[in-house]
Structure 1
Amino acid sequence: MVTNLESNIDELLSSPGGKLLNELSSLMKKRARIFAIIFTSIFAIGYPLAAEFISWLVSEETGLKPSSYVDVITLHPVELVLLKVRISLFLSIMVTGILFVVEMARLLSKSETFHERLIEADLKFPNPNILALFLIFSSILLMISGSLYAIKYLIPFLLDYLAKDALSAGLSTEWTLTNFSGFISSLLFASALGFQVPVIVYLILKFEIVQRSEFTRYRKHIWFSSVVLGAFLSPPDPLSLVLVAAPMIILFEISLFFHKVFHQ
């Protein structure tokens, strides 16, 4: 039984897929120390920057915190430290992850074993073209637009409304630092993701996964789905839901309009 297992392992490792895994493993081992240094360096730089970011976030200059009647507080001694660690870790993982993917793609594009495997599977390594670059640029531009919408309009309006609502009920308004930053980050993420609707609609119509007539026929269902998605992405209050879902619906309709204009 042990002999059979060893022979199966040897057979797997000698196969094209096994050779590719071996090659990837050796490449990752060679660069593990470099990525560890990058991760640690970004974390070390990110920790003091996180402190500056939090100070900026709760300051009156940002316009996010209703200044006159809201206090942002910490409930335990290490809450601020843990939040700075979380922000630094997120920044380290994001930057290191992007660099890792780029480096692996670069190394794979030069790997003979990888190209042999692609030929065997009758696949082609994707080459960037104008359409792909345009979609990447559009996606980044829409993500920035969604973030600006959240920072300039959505978040200040919601925070001011919620604070005044509590004040009208005779309540003092104190938000914990973790909940305050979590509320803002969830709305930022929801807006940045929601603004990707035009790219998603374009790709669906481009590759004819769904016809435009079907989008039109099931318009109400798509609107309802946008509201449901907004409920998952936004904080748990009806106003946030509407303000996150509404741009998705508007962008969906604009996407269909432009598709109709340019494909008549």
Structure 2
Amino acid sequence: MAERLEIEELMNAPRMKMFRKLGAHLRSRVRGLAVLFLFGFVIGYPIAGESIDWIINQSSLIPEDTQIVVLQPLELVLLRLQIAGYIGIMLVVMSLIWDAARYGKNLELGFEIGSVGKGLWALAKSLTLAIAGLIYAWEILIPFLLDYLHEDAADVGLQSTWHLQAWIGFLISLALGSALAFQVPLAVLIALRGGLVEREILTYYRRHLWFASIVVGAMLSPPDPLSLALIAAPMIVLFEFALLIDRIIPQ
């Protein structure tokens, strides 16, 4: 009887009510998110074509003595579909950030602002962090990994011949993986300031969240340990940075 009362008390707690309300809201948004993904996919297809043309003409992304080859007739089409899918996913993620900021129960920004303003504030921060992630990928991560892979092949006397879809897929995975990884501090601060989770819970499960960052990094990065580390490490650092910001800046 006592256990039943404890369970009922837990289920009626304000935070559990908030999570149930959030779950109901997400279920009501499934159709809208699907439409948003489809919209991003449709507009992303021609954008993907322009992006592929631009990447191919970037000599800095092709090490010396490296050939880019096409192995399948539909390779470019499949690659454009893949990139368009990534664009659709990015729009869905931004929409979820909008929702989380707009409907956060206690989200305080340090100034008076309505729910729409909170959503716009979160989107602006999300875009800023995404751009920072893309700069990190394009200026640091991608050049380092391309040189490393090229030199690794050259050291054993192999000529580098890169498959077009694998090469551009590698670049896009790193770029978008970095853009998503840089959303960690915004997600943590929205969760903390919006009353979705307490700071003590995040600190208590810190190591579990670090491991989750490695798992997510493996999902976002190409399948090699070095890429995984260079994606997961910024996520862990930014997670700790968000906790530090939450500590030193009062709500």
TM tier relative to shorter chain: 0.5 to 0.7
Residues 187-220 of structure 1, C-alpha deviations (whole Å, 9 max, x = no match): 1221111111011101211233321122222222
Q: What corresponds to 1:64 in structure 2?
A: 61
Contact 2:65–2:160 under 8 Å retained in 1: yes
The residue identity in structure 1 corresponding to 2:56 is V
Contact 1:69–1:163 under 8 Å retained in 2: no
Give the Cα–Cα distance (whole angstroms) in 1 for the partners of residues 84 and 234 of structure 2.
Answer: 31
**1:262 deviation in Å?**
1.1
Q: What corresponds to 1:76 in structure 2?
A: 72
Which residue of 187, 208, 219 maps to 1:200? 187
**1:128 deviation in Å?**
4.0
Q: TM-score, normalised by structure 1?
A: 0.63
Q: How many residues align?
A: 192
Cα gap change, 1:83 to 1:227, in 2 (>3 Å): closer
Cα gap change, 1:243 to 1:206, in 2 (>3 Å): same
Cα gap change, 1:136 to 1:60, in 2 (>3 Å): closer
The residue identity in structure 2 corresponding to 1:53 is S
Cα gap change, 1:88 to 1:249, in 2 (>3 Å): closer
Give the Cα–Cα distance (whole angstroms) in 1 for the partners of residues 69 and 217 of structure 2.
Answer: 28
Contact 1:64–1:151 under 8 Å retained in 2: no
Q: What corresponds to 2:52 in structure 1?
A: 54
Cα gap change, 1:89 to 1:138, in 2 (>3 Å): closer
Residues 44-92 of structure 1, C-alpha deviations (whole Å, 9 max, x = no match): x928x82x5333212344x2222x13211111344345545x379659x
Larger radius of gyration: 1
**1:161 deviation in Å?**
0.6
The residue identity in structure 2 corresponding to 1:209 is L
The residue identity in structure 2 corresponding to 1:57 is I
Contact 2:79–2:169 under 8 Å retained in 1: no
Q: What corresponds to 1:131 in structure 2?
A: 118
Give the Cα–Cα distance (whole angstroms) in 1 for the partners of residues 79 and 187 of structure 2.
Answer: 33
Q: What corresponds to 1:122 in structure 2?
A: none
Q: What corresponds to 1:115 in structure 2?
A: none
Contact 1:59–1:65 under 8 Å retained in 2: no
Unaligned runs of 5+ in 1: 1-27, 29-34, 102-126
Contact 2:177–2:220 under 8 Å retained in 1: yes
Give the Cα–Cα distance (whole angstroms) in 2 for the partners of residues 80 and 229 of structure 1.
Answer: 27
Which residue of 141, 153, 156 maps to 1:154? 141
The residue identity in structure 2 corresponding to 1:64 is L
**1:165 deviation in Å?**
0.8
**1:182 deviation in Å?**
0.9
Q: 2:229 aligns to what SS in structure 1? A: helix
- How large is the Cα RMSD of the aligned pairs? 3.2
Give the Cα–Cα distance (whole angstroms) in 1 for the partners of residues 168 and 178 of structure 2.
Answer: 15
Give the Cα–Cα distance (whole angstroms) in 2 for the partners of residues 194 and 88 of structure 1.
Answer: 18
Cα gap change, 1:159 to 1:88, in 2 (>3 Å): closer
Give the Cα–Cα distance (whole angstroms) in 2 for the partners of residues 192 and 149 of structure 1.
Answer: 9
